Amino acid sequence: MKMTAMTEVTTDNLEPPSVPPADSPGEEEHSAGIVLPDLAERPTELGETVGNIHCENPFMVAKNVDVYYGDNHAIQNVSLEIGKKEVIALIGPSGCGKSTFLRCLNRMNDSIESARVTGNITLDGKDINRKEQDPVALRARVGMVFQKPNPFPKSIYDNVAYGPRIHGLAADRAELDSIVHTSLERAGLLGEVKDRLDEPGTSLSGGQQQRLCIARTIAVNPEVILMDEPCSALDPIATARIEDLMDELCEDYAIVIVTHSMQQAARVSRRVAYFHLGLLVEVDETDKIFTNPQHKLTEDYITGRIG
Amino acid sequence: MWVAAFRSQNKNSMQSTTLILLLGFMAIAAFYFGRGRSLALVGGPGRSSALHSLPGYYGYYVAIWAALPALALLLLWVLIEPRIVVALVISDLPQSYQELSPGELNLLVNNIQNLAAGDVVSVDVDTVLQNAAAMFNGYVEKSRQMLAVLAVGLAGLGGAIAWQRINPDLRARNRVESVVRWLLIAASSIAILTTVGIVLSVLFEAIRFFQKVPLTEFLFGLNWSPQTAIRADQVGSSGSFGAVPLLTGTLLITAIAMVVAVPVGLMTAIYLAEYSSNRVRAIAKPLLEVLAGIPTVVYGFFAALTVAPWVRQAGESVGLQVASESAMAAGLVMGIMIIPLVSSLSDDAINAVPSAMRDGALGLGSTRSETMTKVILPAALPGIVGGILLAVSRAIGETMIVVMAAGLAANLTANPFEAVTTVTVQIVTLLVGDQEFDSAKTLAAFALGLMLFVVTLVLNVIGLGVVRKYREQYE
């Protein structure tokens, strides 16, 4: 039911604004933005997205996405491109819709009964909300790492082997072994756990558990990895390890990370999107956002005046 | 005279009610006196911070001293009074009556009490009896008056002493709280003591049984036929007390019930927890609970009158010999009865699995059924197993359905289409009707009860152990 509604909206509404309206003012500001604009000239109200929502090599493209939870309009008219092999950080105060947007990208909102998503999101040029799209297959291509490490109550090995098993990625035990080992190695966990793959995943420390969850996600060989505040439950050392890991992983995957830490966004991402009250306020290169934000709200947020 | 007796009885109960009400009022008054004195001692409500406790606690302190001793006296009095009154009445009886045997004397006292209360009396009423009844009423009335005076006096005295002892340094809150703590302990020990009492009484009666019938015969004997000759000159079988047929019958019916209840209940729980929409869940869950609320006796006649004939017909149509009361009928209906128990406990276990597990599995691209079978069920398994074991002990202890539908014949068989009998059914038949309470036949009921208790206890311990062992896995 939900899917039909979304497809209708997609075909009806979304062809005309092929160039998102948010685009033109942002472009102007951008060209003029070499000098710091006057405070008076800068937009202070919520409205169109400023900055640049486009990127060089777009892989996932969201256009005019709206999400409703029942009567609550959770995100409004969000358009954003996500490039191949880039890390993009979504920042903003709590409840601003960044996690909701993230969950649209692999249709995790499907499991919430009252959620309704409209707008157009494409993965590699194909609408992910189209009728023929199996959400299960989509989630195999767009993996997700959650805020709280959530290893299954199984052994470390079985945790990583879970995805390859359900998707039939390994022909035999030897191949499965090699997938598990490669994934653990890429998640930087192999050295710590290779002698105790039979122990339950829950016996690891928090940081190790989160890397196990990343290994579990990589094992399915996705093209995009969504991370929903992956370090918020971890100490600074474990956080640093995960950030290093992201640096390595972005050579192969597009990574979208939701974070509350602006330092983290500055360290790991190439582009930053700032959400506020369900609207995408500003998107730009990380350096620009942190040194020369175009929107008053962005500046207030990154300088600590709000949030 | 009857009316008079009724009135006097009525008056007695009215007196007790009045007395309790009066004590209640005294306690309330004591509260205000205590509170008032504590405030007066420090010089008004504005200076209540000079008190050790809040003023109310001084009030409660005095009220407790007023009410508790008086209530304790009341309780003690009610427990002891009948014995003293009866002893007094007996001592007033003519010599000839006093020499009666204890049993006959007991009967006589019963008659006197009934006459005094205005109830039906089993013998002709003569003057002796009338006098005794009047005497009985007189003693009771006197005792009640004495009680009223003593209780009110004690309440007043206790309250006054406590009131006297109030001073700003009195640790009233701590004292009140310790009284409350003891009340809570007393309340919680009632259930425990009752359980211990039941177990002990069953245990002692069972030991008496095992003095008459060897334990080995009871545990390993293959023949159950509890009829014994009551008198020496009576012709009758000597009785044999092998509990094995009862145990196998119980297990057979329980097994059939679980074969029905576990898959249906578990699948219901999975559907309700993971697949159903909120609306379906909101309707289906209460309906299932209605199923749990049907009295077992209703299930019983449903089994005996509807399911048993149906099983018989169905069996005969495929050429099977089916007894009109079969283990199958009882087991099927018992299974239906247990479905809500299994489904509701499994539902709880499934819902207790953190939703992070569900998200994690879905986020890796699992389908709903893969999420269910590979992640959620394994995580919920300890809770589900615990629930199933609870359901098994419920099935083993279930009585009404099997009394009506399973029959009385103690057949040692594994054929579900034959009549079998269970431990609970035999306990019922052994104790229904007039019984001699020291025959092996009657005592056998206690031995069976003890066996049932031990079996369900062991199952519950195993169930709790399983749950505890695996619980920590995802927490």
Residue in A216, A219, A188, A193 with CA at minimum distance from that of residue A204: A193
Nearest by CB: A202 against B362, B365, B473: B473
Domains, chain B, with CATH or none: 2-170 (no CATH), 240-474 (1.10.3720.10)
Kindly report, residue by residue over A214-231, the tens digit of the pLDDT.
999 999 989 999 999 998
Kindly report, residue by residue over A73-109, the tens digit of the pLDDT.
888 999 999 998 899 999 998 888 888 999 999 998 8
Nearest by CB: A146 against B360, B370, B374: B360
Q: Which residue has the higher pLDDT, B325 or B424?
A: B424
Residue in B54, B28, B35, B11 with CA at minimum distance from that of residue B155: B28
Confidence of residue B150 (pLDDT cuts 50, 70, 90): very high
**Bridge partner list, A123:** A60, A126
Which residues, in sequence order, are CB contacts of B318 under 8 Å at separation 6+?
none
Asked if B222 and B412 count as a contact pair (C-beta separation under 8 A), the reply is yes
Taking an 8 Å cut-off on Cβ atoms, the answer to whether B365 and A138 are in contact is yes
| Residue B63 φ/ψ, nearest 5 degrees | -60, -40
Q: What integer pLDDT is reported at residue B90 of this predicted model?
A: 83
Query: Long-range contacts: B236-241, Cβ < 8 Å, 24+?
Result: B239/B440, B239/B441, B241/B213, B241/B217, B241/B440, B241/B444, B241/B447
Helical packing angle, B172-212 and B440-471, nearest 10°: 130
Dihedral angle sign, alpha carbons of residues B433, B439, B440, B442? positive
- Provide the shortest C-alpha distance from residue B358 to chain A (in Å): 9
Per-residue pLDDT averaged across A232-256, rounded? 88
Is residue B124 classed exposed, middle or buried when 0-12, 13-18 and 19+ CB atoms within 10 A define those classes? exposed
Q: What integer pLDDT is reported at residue A8 of this predicted model?
A: 41
Kindly report, residue by residue over B404-441, the tens digit of the pLDDT.
888 788 888 888 888 888 899 888 888 887 767 677 78
Which residues, in sequence order, are CB contacts of B467 under 8 Å at separation 6+?
B382, B383, B385, B386
Is a pLDDT exceeding 80 seen at residue A14?
no
| CA contacts within 13 A on the Cβ side of A253 | 25
For residue B363, the chain A residues in CB contact (below 8 A) are 106, 108, 139, 143-146, 217
Residue in B206, B224, B225 with CA at minimum distance from that of residue B215: B206
Strands A115-123 and A126-127: antiparallel
Asked if B5 and B116 count as a contact pair (C-beta separation under 8 A), the reply is yes
Asked if B100 and B108 count as a contact pair (C-beta separation under 8 A), the reply is yes
Strands A115-123 and A58-69: antiparallel
- Each domain of chain A, given as residue ranges in start order, spans 2-302
Asked if A278 and A94 count as a contact pair (C-beta separation under 8 A), the reply is no
Nearest-5° Cα angle at B200, B199 to B205: 105
- Beta strands (DSSP E) in chain A are 50-51, 58-69, 72-83, 87-91, 115-123, 126-127, 142-145, 224-228, 254-258, 271-276, 279-285
A167 at B interface, C-beta within 8 A: yes
Q: What is the rounded distance in angstroms from the CA atom of residue A181 to the CA atom of residue A201?
A: 15
Q: What integer pLDDT is reported at residue A179 of this predicted model?
A: 94
**CA B107 distance to own-chain centroid:** 30
Is a pLDDT exceeding 70 seen at residue A150?
yes
Is a pLDDT exceeding 90 seen at residue A181?
yes
Give the mutation candidate from B279, B362, B364 for the A interface (greatest A CB count, under 10 A).
B364
Confidence of residue B177 (pLDDT cuts 50, 70, 90): very high
Among A27-36, A132-141, B6-15, B135-144, name the one with the lowest average pLDDT. Answer: A27-36
Q: What is the rounded distance in angstroms from the CA atom of residue A156 to the CA atom of residue A204?
A: 9
Q: What integer pLDDT is reported at residue A5 of this predicted model?
A: 43
For residue A209, the chain B residues in CB contact (below 8 A) are none
With H, G, I as helix, E, B as strand and everything else as coil, classify residue A228.
strand
With H, G, I as helix, E, B as strand and everything else as coil, classify residue A13.
helix
Per-residue pLDDT averaged across B28-45, rounded? 89
Q: What is the rounded distance in angstroms from the CA atom of residue B32 to the CA atom of residue B63?
A: 9
Residue in A274, A277, A275, A279 with CA at minimum distance from that of residue A293: A274
Q: What is the mean pLDDT of chain B?
A: 85
Per-residue pLDDT averaged across A56-73, rounded? 90
With H, G, I as helix, E, B as strand and everything else as coil, classify residue A62.
strand
Is a pLDDT exceeding 70 seen at residue A307?
no
With H, G, I as helix, E, B as strand and everything else as coil, classify residue A105.
helix
Q: Which two tokens stand for residue B287?
A: 């309906």
Strands A142-145 and A224-228: parallel
Residue A173 host element (H or E): helix A173-186
Q: Which two tokens stand for residue B10?
A: 């009525």
Per-residue pLDDT averaged across B445-452, rounded? 91
Residue in B300, B237, B295 with CA at minimum distance from that of residue B428: B300
Kindly report, residue by residue over B357-388, the tens digit of the pLDDT.
888 999 898 888 899 988 998 888 888 988 89
Kindly report, residue by residue over A95-104, the tens digit of the pLDDT.
888 889 999 9
Taking an 8 Å cut-off on Cβ atoms, the answer to whether B365 and A213 are in contact is no
3-class SS letters over chain B: CHHHHHHHHHHHHHHHHHHHHHHHHHHHHHHHHHHHHHHHHHCCHHHHHHCCCCHHHHHHHHHHHHHHHHHHHHHHHHHHHHHHHHHHHHHHCCHHHHCCCHHHHHHHHHHHHHHHHCCCCCCCCCHHHHHHHHHHHHHHHHHHHHHHHHHHHHHHHHHHHHHHHCCCCCCHHHHHHHHHHHHHHHHHHHHHHHHHHHHHHHHHHHHHHHHHCCHHHHHHCCCEECCCCCCCCCCCCCCEECCHHHHHHHHHHHHHHHHHHHHHHHHHHHHHHHHCCHHHHHHHHHHHHHHHHCCHHHHHHHHHHHHHHHHHHHHHHCCCCCCCCCHHHHHHHHHHHHHHHHHHHHHHHHHHCCHHHHHHHHHCCCCHHHHHHHHHHHHHHHHHHHHHHHHHHHHHHCCHHHHHHCCCCCCCCCCCCCCCCCHHHHHHHHHCCCCCCCCHHHHHHHHHHHHHHHHHHHHHHHHHHHHHHHHHHHC
Is a pLDDT exceeding 80 seen at residue B72?
yes
A152 at B interface, C-beta within 8 A: yes
Taking an 8 Å cut-off on Cβ atoms, the answer to whether A140 and B378 are in contact is no
Is a pLDDT exceeding 60 seen at residue A24?
no
Nearest-5° Cα angle at B411, B405 to B412: 125
Per-residue pLDDT averaged across B120-139, rounded? 80
Asked if B52 and B171 count as a contact pair (C-beta separation under 8 A), the reply is yes
Taking an 8 Å cut-off on Cβ atoms, the answer to whether B365 and A144 are in contact is no
Taking an 8 Å cut-off on Cβ atoms, the answer to whether B362 and A166 are in contact is no
Across A54-58, B2-6, B151-155, B234-238, the highest mean pLDDT is recorded for B151-155
ipTM above 0.85, yes or no: no
Q: Which two tokens stand for residue B388?
A: 């199933």
Among A40-54, B394-408, B450-464, name the one with the lowest average pLDDT. Answer: A40-54
Q: Which residue has the higher pLDDT, A31 or A135?
A: A135
Q: Which two tokens stand for residue A134?
A: 């199996």
Compute the CA torsion angle A188, A193, A197, A203 (nearest 10 deg).
-110
Q: What integer pLDDT is reported at residue B243 of this predicted model?
A: 87
Which residues, in sequence order, are CB contacts of B40 under 8 Å at separation 6+?
none
User: Nearest-CA residue of chain B relative to A215?
Assistant: B364
Q: What integer pLDDT is reported at residue B241 of this predicted model?
A: 86
Is a pLDDT exceeding 70 seen at residue A38?
no
Per-residue pLDDT averaged across B205-220, rounded? 89
Q: What is the rounded distance in angstroms from the CA atom of residue B274 to the CA atom of residue A34?
A: 54
| CA contacts within 13 A on the Cβ side of B26 | 25
Among A1-5, A134-138, A187-191, name the one with the lowest average pLDDT. Answer: A1-5
Taking an 8 Å cut-off on Cβ atoms, the answer to whether A111 and B362 are in contact is yes
Q: What integer pLDDT is reported at residue B14 of this predicted model?
A: 59
Q: What integer pLDDT is reported at residue B242 of this predicted model?
A: 86
Q: What integer pLDDT is reported at residue B9 of this predicted model?
A: 53
| Residue A53 φ/ψ, nearest 5 degrees | -80, -10
| Residue A243 φ/ψ, nearest 5 degrees | -65, -40
Domain A2-302 has CATH 3.30.70.940: no
DSSP state of A117: E
Nearest-5° Cα angle at B300, B295 to B301: 110
Kindly report, residue by residue over B230-278, the tens digit of the pLDDT.
565 665 556 788 888 899 999 999 999 999 999 999 999 999 988 888 8
| Residue A16 φ/ψ, nearest 5 degrees | -55, -55
With H, G, I as helix, E, B as strand and everything else as coil, classify residue A130.
coil
Asked if A122 and A138 count as a contact pair (C-beta separation under 8 A), the reply is no
Query: From chain B, which residues contact A within 8 Å (Cβ)?
Result: 277-278, 354, 356-367, 370, 374-375, 378-379, 473-474
- Provide the shortest C-alpha distance from residue B367 to chain A (in Å): 6
Residue in B219, B194, B220 with CA at minimum distance from that of residue B206: B219
A112 at B interface, C-beta within 8 A: no
Confidence of residue A153 (pLDDT cuts 50, 70, 90): confident
Dihedral angle sign, alpha carbons of residues A266, A141, A156, B469? positive
Is a pLDDT exceeding 90 seen at residue A158?
yes
A138 at B interface, C-beta within 8 A: yes
Q: Which two tokens stand for residue A88?
A: 């993009």
Q: What integer pLDDT is reported at residue B228 of this predicted model?
A: 65
With H, G, I as helix, E, B as strand and everything else as coil, classify residue A28.
helix
Residue in B151, B178, B169 with CA at minimum distance from that of residue B60: B178
Is a pLDDT exceeding 60 seen at residue B115?
yes
Please state the pTM of the whole predicted model.
0.71
